[in-house]
């Protein structure tokens, strides 16, 4: 008997050049981005994953493509813009590992994704069994592209596709908090696997605590996924409502990509048949490795 086929996964979004500020004038140059970080860790865990974005035709875009291939991330869903370039961001971390970011991305090539000069999302989605989308991706898309993508996702889900969504709220990208709430709620109501962070949800929707976040998400119709709650451990958004018993972090160097790596560990385990509790434990274990080292995409033990 043949083994079941591993699902084909697409992560949609923006991949950027990452600068990690060091001592004095030193800096380290990397490649990163929220859904891209997840794609890299999914690939390391053996998943079949493609990245969906728009790059330029410059040398930094060439560097990003080379990085994707080195990570075993599929590049066939990458298109290239003739005039625009990738976004750039810089990270500085404090003594506790908390990070601050500075971005240069307002005219990045990825902002043309699913626009009039890019491909139609309907044709793209048909290739995949599972798609990961975040609020950051929604925020950088033009309004028309966002509407086009949502309609395509609804039709694709009617045909059996599964959508995973992480709100990953970044106020500076949205500008308009009411718009962010409307768009995020629409995705919560439409997704199959929810991967919110409690802090993001409280900041966006004004919930007073974790219990209020869970109650609201249930009202939105969520029935599967995990609420990331930092050191408290993730909470199952499925029928059990249970919290995973997880090990505490013993070393925190850089919390960049903590949530992104959790998403990868969780989805990789879930698509291989793990229970939600086991998937949460896998996601947390991966995130612990990532936050113990500097940068978004690190070498795993």
- 166 assigned to active site: no
Task: Identify the CATH assignment for 8-14+34-52+119-291 out of 3.40.1190.20, 3.40.50.720, 2.170.190.11, 3.40.190.10.
Answer: 3.40.1190.20
Question: What's the gap between Cα 209 and its chain centre?
Answer: 23
Kindly provide the b/e burial profile for residues 30-49, where b requires at least 16 CB atoms within 10 angstroms of the residue's own CB.
bbbbbbbbbbbbbbbbebbb
Name the one residue in this structure whose structure tokens are 């900041």.
Answer: 203
For residue 1, the model assigns a pLDDT of 45
In the DSSP assignment, the letter for residue 109 is G
Residue given tokens 């008997």 in the structure block: 1
In the numeric block, the tokens 């865990």 are attached to 45
Helices (H), 141-291: 143-158, 171-174, 177-190, 198-205, 210-219, 258-271, 276-291
Q: Which residues contact 76 (CB under 8 A, 6 or more apart)?
A: 50
Catalytic residue among 254, 260, 299, 301: 260
> Using CA atoms, how far apart are residues 207 and 205, in angstroms rounded to an integer?
6
pTM: predicted TM-score of the whole model, two decimal places: 0.94
Residue pLDDT tens, the chain, 301 long: 455 668 999 999 999 998 887 777 888 889 999 999 999 999 999 999 999 999 999 999 999 999 999 999 999 999 999 999 999 988 787 777 667 788 899 999 999 999 999 999 998 999 999 999 999 999 999 999 999 999 999 999 999 999 999 999 999 999 999 999 999 999 999 999 999 999 999 999 999 999 999 999 999 999 999 999 998 999 999 999 999 999 888 888 878 899 999 999 999 999 999 999 999 999 999 999 999 998 788 888 7
Structure tokens at 282: 């896998």
Tokens of residue 204, six digits = 């966006």
Asked if 165 contacts 44 with a C-beta cutoff of 8 angstroms, the reply is: no
Residue that is written with structure tokens 């929604």 in the block: 138
- What sign has the CA pseudo-torsion 56, 62, 67, 73? positive
Could you tell me which residues come within 8 angstroms of residue 240 by beta carbon, excluding any fewer than 6 positions away?
Answer: 276, 277
């Amino acid at each position: 008997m043949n083994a079941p086929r591993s699902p084909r996964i697409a992560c949609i979004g923006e991949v950027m050049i990452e600068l990690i500020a060091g001592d004095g004038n030193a800096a380290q140059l990397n490649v990163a981005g929220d859904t891209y970080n997840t794609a890299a860790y999914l690939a390391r865990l053996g998943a079949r994953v493609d990245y969906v974005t728009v790059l330029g035709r410059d040398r930094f875009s060439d560097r990003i493509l080379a990085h994707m291939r080195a990570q075993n991330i599929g590049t066939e869903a990458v298109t290239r813009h003739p005039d625009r370039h990738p976004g750039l961001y810089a990270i500085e971390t404090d003594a506790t590992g908390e990070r601050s970011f500075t971005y240069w991305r307002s005219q990045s090539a990825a902002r043309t994704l699913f626009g009039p000069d890019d491909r139609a999302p309907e044709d793209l989605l048909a290739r995949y069994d599972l798609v990961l989308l975040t609020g950051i991706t929604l925020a950088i898309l033009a309004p028309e592209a966002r509407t086009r993508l949502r309609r395509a996702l609804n039709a694709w889900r009617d045909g059996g596709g599964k959508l995973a969504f992480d709100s990953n709220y970044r106020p500076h990208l949205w500008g308009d908090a009411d718009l962010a709430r409307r768009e995020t709620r629409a995705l919560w109501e439409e997704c199959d696997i929810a991967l919110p962070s409690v802090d993001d949800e409280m900041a966006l929707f004004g919930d007073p605590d974790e219990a209020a976040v869970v109650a609201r998400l249930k009202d939105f119709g969520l029935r599967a996924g995990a609420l990331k709650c930092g050191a408290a451990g993730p909470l199952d958004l499925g029928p059990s409502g249970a919290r995973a018993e997880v090990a505490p972090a013993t070393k925190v160097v850089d919390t960049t990509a903590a949530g992104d790596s959790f998403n990868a560990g969780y989805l990789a385990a879930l698509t291989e048949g793990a229970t939600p509790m086991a998937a949460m434990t896998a996601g947390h274990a991966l995130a612990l490795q990532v936050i113990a080292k500097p940068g978004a995409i690190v070498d795993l033990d």
